[in-house]
């Protein structure tokens, strides 16, 4: 476990010093040394960073990673961007305000990423991330001993094309507009069961879960990550996780996302 303590110390040292060296910076981008990044990686942060420091947007990070971004489970549309309650990391931006006022004085001695995901740190805030990842990792050998690498992480690759983020409409991802459109969308998707959704001749389906076990069964079926962190499913928003399965858009959803509450014991 020593590696997790060393990592946490390293992050605190790096973040403390970068903000001292650049006191006027609004935030910093963290790139681990086992990542590859896409051509538009920096432009992504340049585009969305104004929202990170807008108190109306309720954000605590920007991330170019998608835990469920395996090549065959994403729509190959570089303009798709989501909000999530989950902190993914792996190429992300932290605001100086959050570091100075919150994280710097309480940074943990180990397991910093799970600490960031805790209710006390997240405070109901979200992250913004693309459907098509702008990072990939080759770090099979590391502190985590390759956990999830062969099954998930090694099958996620950074975007290899060119995309001009200047054409993206920021209003579409702003919280008030995005939330209503997202929730309405999920509510209108036809409900199916795990046993018959593949046979339905529709482009999108919704699979309902009410327990952790039900979520895990569905996630296993469509090959997305099954675990929760601090009660939030990976890349979930209002408890909803979405990915492609055999070219069909699947939403794994609680019965009523509008009233969803995370279960910290999940």
Query: In terms of residues, how long is the chain?
Result: 266
Q: How far apart are CA 49 and CA 96, in angstroms?
A: 12
Rg (CA), the chain: 18
Per-residue pLDDT, 145: 53
Return the CATH number at 216.
3.10.180.20
Asked whether 241 and 233 are in contact (CB, 8 A), the reply is: yes
Low-confidence ranges of the chain (pLDDT < 70): 141-147
What's the total number of domains in the chain? 2
Estimate to the nearest angstrom the gap between the alpha carbon of 86 and the chain centroid.
5
Query: Model's pTM, two decimal places?
Result: 0.93
Q: Measured between alpha carbons, how far is residue 153 from residues 60, 61, 67, 119, 140 in Å?
A: 23, 21, 7, 25, 9
Residue 9 belongs to what H/E stretch?
helix 2-21
226-264 per-position pLDDT tens digit: 999 999 999 999 999 999 999 999 999 999 999 999 888
Return the CATH number at 24.
3.90.550.10
Domain that holds residue 82: 2-159
Residues 151 and 207 in one domain: no
18-36 per-position pLDDT tens digit: 999 999 999 999 999 999 9
Per-residue pLDDT, 202: 96
Active site residue 113: yes
Is residue 165 in some structural domain? no
Residues 82 and 11 in one domain: yes
Give the 3-state secondary structure percentages of the chain, helix then strand then coil, rounded to 5: 40, 20, 40
Set 113, 114, 162, 227: catalytic member: 113
Tokens of 51: 């929202």
Residues 20 and 139 in one domain: yes
Is residue 7 in some structural domain? yes
């Amino acid at each position: 476990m020593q590696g997790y303590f060393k990592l946490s110390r390293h992050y605190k040292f790096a973040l403390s010093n970068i903000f001292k060296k650049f006191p006027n910076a609004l935030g910093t981008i963290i790139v681990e040394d086992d990542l590859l990044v896409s051509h538009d990686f920096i432009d992504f942060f340049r585009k969305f960073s104004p929202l990170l420091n807008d108190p109306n947007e309720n954000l605590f990070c920007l991330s170019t990673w998608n835990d469920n971004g395996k090549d065959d489970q994403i729509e190959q549309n570089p303009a798709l961007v989501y909000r999530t309650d989950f902190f993914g990391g792996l190429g992300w931006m932290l605001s100086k305000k959050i570091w100075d006022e919150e994280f710097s004085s309480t940074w943990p001695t180990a397991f910093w990423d799970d600490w960031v995901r805790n209710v006390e740190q997240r405070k109901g805030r979200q992250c913004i991330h693309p459907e098509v990842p702008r990072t990939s990792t080759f770090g099979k050998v590391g502190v985590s001993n390759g956990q999830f690498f062969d099954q998930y992480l090694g099958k996620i690759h950074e975007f290899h094309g060119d995309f001009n983020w200047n054409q993206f409409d920021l209003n579409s991802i702003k919280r008030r507009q995005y939330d209503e459109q997202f929730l309405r969308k999920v509510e209108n998707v036809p409900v199916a069961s795990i046993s018959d959704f593949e046979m339905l001749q529709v482009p999108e389906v919704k699979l309902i879960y009410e327990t952790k076990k039900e979520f895990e069964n569905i996630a296993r079926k469509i090959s997305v990550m099954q675990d929760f962190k601090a009660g939030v499913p990976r890349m979930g928003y209002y408890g909803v996780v979405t990915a492609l399965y055999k070219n069909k858009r699947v939403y794994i959803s609680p019965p009523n996302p509008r009233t969803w509450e995370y279960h910290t014991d999940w």
